[in-house]
Structure 1
């Protein structure tokens, strides 16, 4: 069982929880503790998982420690009108080698995915995103990743796996189950022109920070994701100082919380991680407090999922067919439940990408099509399937 890979939540966190009101979130969570042993996961839909691994985090050693600060802040919050059952599984400790930690994390995530439990991963370097991605191998499906990050973290092909080279490993190593990668909030001066061109050549999606702040335009990137990975360094240093790679520019606190709600409300997102938190730089636990609120908004989003993807019934959608000048047509669907839009991609029934036959889009994409402009999302999706 997965509890053999895990250590209980610190006693200081539980003592802190005892001082909180009865209705606080911590008292609604099934917590792995020395006293209560490993929690029963029956009917659990969300599971918090700490990772105390920092050896492959570039220039941010120590990002696997201090997770109890995040838990204290999270437990203090009050839940919304939620129906989901939440468990806190404690932490994966450092193994003798980094590969030992990776193995433990992968086994836990695979177990949770197979039991329809969404892991909420905190701590460790963003190289854990690669481990998360590999955990989907046994599910035998293509995977979409959306990363909120100021950098692409491609690195060189020859580089060892680190938090700043994990993407090249995802792209290049077999089995290659990646269908789409989206970066939200990259800052051009942190990325070479060669890297930017590479993402363009691979027909991946990349949203510069300035464009990403138009939050409605990036919502489809989260609706289309299986894995959401957030580097805390994507948030400006004044808002989240607990990262040795923090930058003066980035998302504001309210913006990153809106983004995590987008991730939660997506019917497709099945794992969620916040990485690179380094408590030794955390002034007055400011970053721990923000991360706890990001997690709160993710949980809030999960509770407001409307399950309108994939189709729940044609009666719940409006279909729009746009005739193009080349006598072809683009088909759009609008959900009556949420008002969200999708585009249809025509693929062969035996195509391995059939789960991508519908891709999320915006109302603007539909308007562009009516003006005879093929939406970029449609074009990129088609290119990846050829």
Structure 2
């Protein structure tokens, strides 16, 4: 994994009677089943006219995740999962978005081929196309589920990818590996009708914010025939009172409890083979509120994985 570099993050001390996730994530496992990968890129956000700063998110999310404990309620299965989980580090980002997405794709493809579940810490939502390229490079067809305030199927800008184009790119990719696109949490005032038409033309499905509940999310998780499901969460779907540190704050977003339950459900779904979390922007956070929620999102996804 020559494109991966060790994350620059402080590792908390862990006592034997009070271990934290850092204890497992920073130990090399003999049999890796789940792996964290950072993608510290926000060039796509910059190209899309958003607020840069998401490149700092992977290290900030790790800071919070490392401090967390295994589930006290489901301790044994959670620890069993953690024993096969490690932090592989960050993709070495060059600033050339297309090159960086290819690098992420190479790394994710290798994990998918090994049957390892990668958890990707973005970065802007350009992370999702690099994530998808892992499937294309591994020649694995997948449906894509996105929890987001925006559809992110915009055309390229001057033939360049950006944070608003990843799912159009995936659906139109020459590999044909993007089978179905499922998106929930959409804000009616932030989505173009032409983009919704594109999703329908591609055989996809969408839900608006006021339609997004546990039943709807569960339905979308199963509204496909693919053997695999790539899941991507954009933090700007969450209400800005609970997630102020994002690239595009949402004044009427989803509540954090629904968001966390959705992450748990994704982890528990046996068809989910990868997960990414994008658009956290520490530059605009308040008392680490958003990075803590992001870390807790990963924790809930891990909890779900531990209960498969």
TM-score by length of 2: 0.89
Partner of 2:203: 203
| Aligned pairs for 1:296-335 within 5 A | 296-305=299-308
Provide closer, same or farther for how the CA distance between residues 157 and 94 of structure 1 changes in structure 2, counting only shifts above 3 A. Answer: closer
Instruction: Determine the C-alpha separation between the residues in 2 that align with 1:103 and 1:155.
Output: 20
**TM-score for the superposition, normalised by structure 1:** 0.71
Q: Which protein is bigger by CA-based radius of gyration?
A: 1
- Per the alignment, do residues 157 and 48 of structure 1 end up closer, same or farther by CA in structure 2, a change over 3 Å counting? closer
**Paired residue secondary structure (1:70):** helix
Q: Does structure 2 conserve the Cα–Cα contact (< 8 Å) formed by 1:222 and 1:228? A: no
Task: Check the 8 A contact 2:182/2:206 in 1, yes or no.
Answer: yes
Query: Deviations for 1:23-76, whole angstroms, at most 9, x for unmatched residues?
Result: 222212235xxxxxxx35x31111111111111123131211143221121111
1:291 equivalent among 285, 288, 294? 294
Counterpart Cα distance in 2 of 1:277 and 1:291: 8
Partner SS state of residue 174, structure 1: coil
2:20 pairs with 1:24: yes
CA contact (8 A) 1:8 1:91 kept: yes
Asked whether the equivalents of residues 6 and 91 of structure 1 are also in contact (C-alpha less than 8 Å), the reply is yes
**Distance in 2 of aligned mates of 1:275 and 1:48:** 13
Aligned equivalents of 1:100, 1:173: Cα separation in 2: 16
Per the alignment, in what secondary structure is the counterpart of residue 230 of structure 1? Answer: strand
For structure 2, the 5+ residue unaligned runs are none
Question: What is the DSSP-based 3-state SS (H/G/I as helix, E as strand, rest coil) of the residue aligned with 1:18?
Answer: coil
Deviation at 1:260, TM superposition (A): 0.3
- Matched residue pairs, number? 291
What is residue 176 of structure 1 aligned with on the other side? 176
Q: State whether residues 53 and 93 of structure 1, in contact with CA within 8 Å, keep that contact through their aligned partners in structure 2.
A: no
Distance in structure 1 (CA, Å) of the matches to 2:289 and 2:173: 38
User: How far is 1:106 from its partner?
Assistant: 1.3
CA-based RMSD: 1.8
Give secondary structure in 1 for the equivalent of 2:280.
coil
- Choose 239-248 or 166-175, whichever is displaced more: 166-175
- Cα deviation, residue 197, structure 1: 2.4
What does residue range 59-78 of structure 1 map to in structure 2 within 5 Å?
A: 59-78=50-69
Distance of aligned partners of 1:242 and 1:178 in 2 relative to their CA distance in 1, 3 Å threshold: same
CA offset at residue 238 of structure 1? 0.6
Compute the displacement of 1:96 (Å): 5.1
Q: Quick one: distance in 2 between partners of 1:191 and 1:96?
A: 28
Distance (whole Å) between structure 2 residues aligned to residue 210 and residue 125 of structure 1? 25
In the alignment, the residues of structure 1 paired with residue 249 and residue 188 of structure 2 have an alpha-carbon distance, to the nearest angstrom, of 15
Deviation, 1:203, is 2.5
Contact 2:111 2:117 in 1 (8 A): yes
Structure 1, unmatched stretches of 5+, are: 32-38, 306-386
Query: Highest relative contact order (Cα 8 Å, sep 6+), 1 or 2?
Result: 2
- Measured in 2, the distance between the counterparts of 1:133 and 1:108 equals 11
Q: Residues 101 and 302 (structure 1 numbering): CA distance in 2 closer, same or farther, change over 3 Å?
A: same
**8 Å contact from structure 1 (residues 13, 68) kept in 2:** no
